[in-house]
Chains A and B, each alone.
Chain A
Amino acid sequence: MNAPANTNSLLERAPVMIRDWIIGFFPESLRWPVGALLAIAAMLAVFGLVFAFLTLAERKLLGRAQNRPGPNRSGLPFFRGTKLFGLTQPFADAVKMLTKEDIVPRAADHLLHFLAPVLVVAFALMTFAVIPYGRQLVAVDIDAGVLYFFAAGAATELAIFMAGWASHNKYSLIGAMRALAQLISYELPLLLSVVPVVMLAGTLSPTKIVEAQANVPGGLIPHWHVFTPWGAVGFAIFMVAALAEANRSPFDLPEGESELVAGHLTEYSGFKYALFFMAEYFGMIGLTGMGATLFLGGWQAPCAFLEFIPSYLWFGVKMLSLILFMMWIRATLLRLRIDQLTRLAWKFLVPLALINLGTAAFWSRTDSWSGPLQFVRWAIALALIVVPFVVIGRRLTAGLAPRTYRYAT
């Protein structure tokens, strides 16, 4: 790992210096717990704010895409006339959510009804522990970090089931069953799209994966995984599966408001509903963070001379651009039906991910090719991916095409 000159630039090392400065006040035995608590506090603060302003960004983006300005009325409590373009809207929403009455249906299973939102947010937050936000900015550097990330992600299904079951209501039950079917069937393509990255990087630890994507000094094209044929397809599959895991737009079936009112969230109100809402956004932040780490080179700058910008800013830019892409998808696409959704996962994404595994193997084997062979290598790899994509794609949408119509005489 080369050590370019900027690792000692002030901005780059600022967070680590602050942490060491604060830890300095504590005796040796307390150093570790205080460091951990500091990391937790920092993450909660940063991601709490990011969540708040993401809700505002989503409503503004959705509004602007629909030819309306989006929320711009909320001002400050004591300065009556000021219009702040909606910047205080998230805090207004937070106050509203806190003051709303929290109704628990009489027949509901009170313990599970209370536990579900807590667990959903807990597991969503646990996934933040392993994502490398900056050069030394990773809360816990575990050897099997990627596996930990997906283990915590998989546990949220449990909490969603609890929510659906505890509400003791027909709609919530159908919503919970749908949510589980969706989450389980999309966990497979999610994991399978990550396997080539682990295979090529040779490790499960996120920090090492990011270092594997470092740039050659002076090189202009970034060495991110997304700029390889298998990486691009893997990233596409990862993003589609991430949309499904976070219950986002084309797959927001569980709370398909047009059919099942609000799915497993029907019987929740007030702060518990806000917790589910927060968990969905944390899930989105976590998945896009991990997606950026695995495919877009985490906190790596695109090319060597751009590295004077601190690494955590690069990570922020990549993560936010992925989140904005998810919001853009939400402004456009329709919702899939439950059987189409699972059919897309099992009959399209899983086979493609397996073929992608093969292409990645081919790619790693042919590392030594150079010169003209490089184009041949790209051509073969692309053919290995695109041909099955077109074949399976055509079979999936057999008989579905915009039709031409005749007219009565």
Chain B
Amino acid sequence: MTDPEIASPSAFPEPSVLATHSAATVRPVHDEFHGDLLEVSMGPQHPSTHGVFRMVVTLDGEVIVKLKPVFGYLHRNHEKLGENTTYLGSMPYTDRLDYLCSMTNNWAYALAVEKLAGQPVPERAEYVRVILAEMTRLVNHMCLVGFLFNDLGTSFTPLLYAFREREKFIDLFESLSGSRMMCNFQRFGGCRANPSPEWLGAVSKLVDGFPKFLDEYEQLLTGNEILLARTQGVGCLSPELAVQAGITGPMLRASGVGYDIRKADGYGIYPRFDFRVPIGAHGDTYDRYMMRILEMRESVKILQQALRDIPAGPVMDPKSRLRNFRPKPGEAYGRIEGPKGEIGFYLISDGSPNPLRYRVRAPSFVNLTVIEDMCLGRTVADSVVILGSVDIVLGEVDR
């Protein structure tokens, strides 16, 4: 069906509305000398939109005058499903939200339910959760950086280097939780299985070798003049607009706002680890790329500290119940610093085994709302790079 609002060019809002909305000054749409505007629909089947996401782009020559994001193609009714299954039943579905980092999704959901039911978590489980979360952050940032350079036009070389390293981490997830990406590993009150010393040894060996990979990766890319030209000054996001739009994660820190939930909330046992939070200055695509690289280096530090002083003991709280788990009526909001930003679960319980309301605060969805402001005045090639730097996963955007 043709969306009436897009179809007829005359239905464009007055340029004055657009002008106040964003910094780019937009020429009147129909003046004679400049010719008409070209409307191009990029997606949903487009090689570089990271899944089924569509951008209806109005071009004046090469410059974007209007960009309307259209998503919802991957909507699977995740939240209504959450209301019809038990609390445990929703856990495997959280793997399918942001399918690149299932461990952090599980942890956020488990944290929310533990807050709701006041469930204590043993010490070793906290350490295991931190280790798995930081490993997921490395995996996600490697994927992002790889795909970003694929959008920039390298023929898969950085992507394949990043995936070579990611495979090693994914294999460790598989040997622990049984599945590479759909781990379903956290439970309310701890983890499902106790990692063996050999597994922890393999993780520390892999983590110690990781900075060497990062150095080689930065040597390939960070100084590259074409990369500097293509990403510096492209897609700038002002700190004020970022805060107003509720942006979180590396995108927010790239714009200069040093807000990291691991430091702000201090959930789990993060206060025990010393790590730094990198901040950008310009909020452009290059800063967002460097945020991920520097965050990977910080995650390696956290992992090394956690692996060094992980205690022995059980990973599952004995009083935790798997079946007919009925938390007392009330509500809770558990959030963690996922690789893409603040991923939070808001639960309302009415005492029955199914939650009354099950709401997911997905970072990709919120970070995507400012895509038009960053793309106005840029060219088509830039819009693809800006979308790549926002790091969206459609499973999380559409839920």
Q: Name A's B-contacting residues (CB within 8 A).
A: 62, 65-68, 170-171, 174, 249-250, 252, 256-261, 330-340, 397, 399-403, 405-409
Instruction: Name the residue of chain A whose CB is nearest to the CB of B45.
Output: A261
B279 touches A406 (CB 8 A): yes
Q: Does B226 interact with chain A (Cβ within 8 Å)?
A: yes
* A174 vs B149: C-alpha distance when bound (angstroms): 23
A400 touches B232 (CB 8 A): yes
Instruction: Name the residue of chain B whose CB is nearest to the CB of A262.
Output: B47
* A62 vs B47: C-alpha distance when bound (angstroms): 20
* A403 vs B283: C-alpha distance when bound (angstroms): 12
A407 touches B230 (CB 8 A): no
Q: Does B382 interact with chain A (Cβ within 8 Å)?
A: yes
B258 touches A408 (CB 8 A): yes
From known contacts A66-B156, A66-B160, A171-B40, infer whether A337 and B224 are also in contact, taking CB-CB under 8 Å. no
* A126 vs B301: C-alpha distance when bound (angstroms): 61
Q: Does B209 interact with chain A (Cβ within 8 Å)?
A: no
From known contacts A67-B160, A259-B48, infer whether A335 and B153 are also in contact, taking CB-CB under 8 Å. yes
Q: From the candidates A258, A339, A401, A407, name the one contacting B47 in the complex (CB within 8 A).
A: A258
Binding-face segment, B12-20, B103-111, B286-294, B342-350: B286-294
From known contacts A68-B160, A250-B226, A333-B224, infer whether A256 and B38 are also in contact, taking CB-CB under 8 Å. no
Contacts of A403 in B (CB 8 A): 281-282, 286-287, 290
Instruction: Name the residue of chain A whose CB is nearest to the CB of B164.
Output: A67
Contacts of A259 in B (CB 8 A): 42, 48, 380-381, 384
24 residue pairs of the A-B complex, CB under 8 angstroms, read: A62-B155, A67-B160, A174-B62, A257-B48, A258-B48, A259-B48, A261-B46, A332-B157, A333-B226, A334-B224, A335-B381, A336-B229, A336-B230, A337-B229, A338-B381, A339-B379, A340-B229, A340-B230, A397-B229, A400-B225, A402-B228, A403-B286, A405-B287, A406-B278
Contacts of A250 in B (CB 8 A): 226
Instruction: Name the residue of chain A whose CB is nearest to the CB of B378.
Output: A337
Min CB distance A171 to B, Å, is: 7
Q: Name B's A-contacting residues (CB within 8 A).
A: 38, 40, 42, 46-48, 59, 62, 149-157, 160-161, 164, 220, 222-230, 232-233, 253, 258, 260, 263, 276-282, 286-287, 290, 294, 379-382, 384
Most buried by B among A171, A258, A334, A338: A334
Give the number of residue pairs across the A-B interface with Cβ within 8 Å. 121
* A252 vs B47: C-alpha distance when bound (angstroms): 16
Instruction: Name the residue of chain B whose CB is nearest to the CB of A249.
Output: B155
B226 touches A334 (CB 8 A): yes
* A174 vs B228: C-alpha distance when bound (angstroms): 25
* A406 vs B278: C-alpha distance when bound (angstroms): 6
Min CB distance B185 to A, Å, is: 29
* A399 vs B281: C-alpha distance when bound (angstroms): 14
* A261 vs B42: C-alpha distance when bound (angstroms): 10
In the A-B complex, list the 7 residue pairs whose CB atoms are closest, starting with the nearest: A335-B153, A408-B258, A407-B276, A400-B228, A66-B160, A258-B48, A408-B277
Contacts of B294 in A (CB 8 A): 405
Q: From the candidates A171, A336, A401, A408, name the one contacting B226 in the complex (CB within 8 A).
A: A336
* A392 vs B271: C-alpha distance when bound (angstroms): 50
Min CB distance B246 to A, Å, is: 19
* A334 vs B285: C-alpha distance when bound (angstroms): 15
Min CB distance B235 to A, Å, is: 13
* A359 vs B315: C-alpha distance when bound (angstroms): 75
Contacts of B157 in A (CB 8 A): 62, 65-66, 331-332
* A408 vs B229: C-alpha distance when bound (angstroms): 27
Contacts of A171 in B (CB 8 A): 40
* A338 vs B230: C-alpha distance when bound (angstroms): 11
A407 touches B220 (CB 8 A): no
Min CB distance A332 to B, Å, is: 7
A397 touches B228 (CB 8 A): yes
From known contacts A261-B46, A261-B47, infer whether A337 and B280 are also in contact, taking CB-CB under 8 Å. no
Instruction: Name the residue of chain A whose CB is nearest to the CB of B258.
Output: A408
Contacts of A65 in B (CB 8 A): 157
Min CB distance B346 to A, Å, is: 27
From known contacts A67-B161, A334-B224, infer whether A408 and B152 are also in contact, taking CB-CB under 8 Å. no
Min CB distance B388 to A, Å, is: 9
* A18 vs B62: C-alpha distance when bound (angstroms): 56
Min CB distance B127 to A, Å, is: 24
Contacts of A397 in B (CB 8 A): 225, 228-229
* A249 vs B152: C-alpha distance when bound (angstroms): 12
B154 touches A334 (CB 8 A): yes
Min CB distance A264 to B, Å, is: 15
Min CB distance B82 to A, Å, is: 34
B230 touches A332 (CB 8 A): no
Contacts of A68 in B (CB 8 A): 160
* A94 vs B152: C-alpha distance when bound (angstroms): 30
Instruction: Name the residue of chain B whose CB is nearest to the CB of A257.
Output: B47
Most buried by A among B260, B279, B381: B381
A335 touches B223 (CB 8 A): no
4 further interface pairs, Cβ-Cβ under 8 Å (given A258-B153, A334-B153, A337-B230): A66-B161, A260-B380, A331-B155, A399-B232
Q: From the candidates B46, B48, B153, B278, name the one contacting A252 in the complex (CB within 8 A).
A: B153
Contacts of B152 in A (CB 8 A): 258, 334-335
Instruction: Name the residue of chain A whose CB is nearest to the CB of B40.
Output: A170
Contacts of A337 in B (CB 8 A): 229-230, 379, 381-382
B384 touches A408 (CB 8 A): no
Most buried by A among B153, B253, B282: B153
Instruction: Name the residue of chain A whose CB is nearest to the CB of B63.
Output: A339
* A62 vs B156: C-alpha distance when bound (angstroms): 9
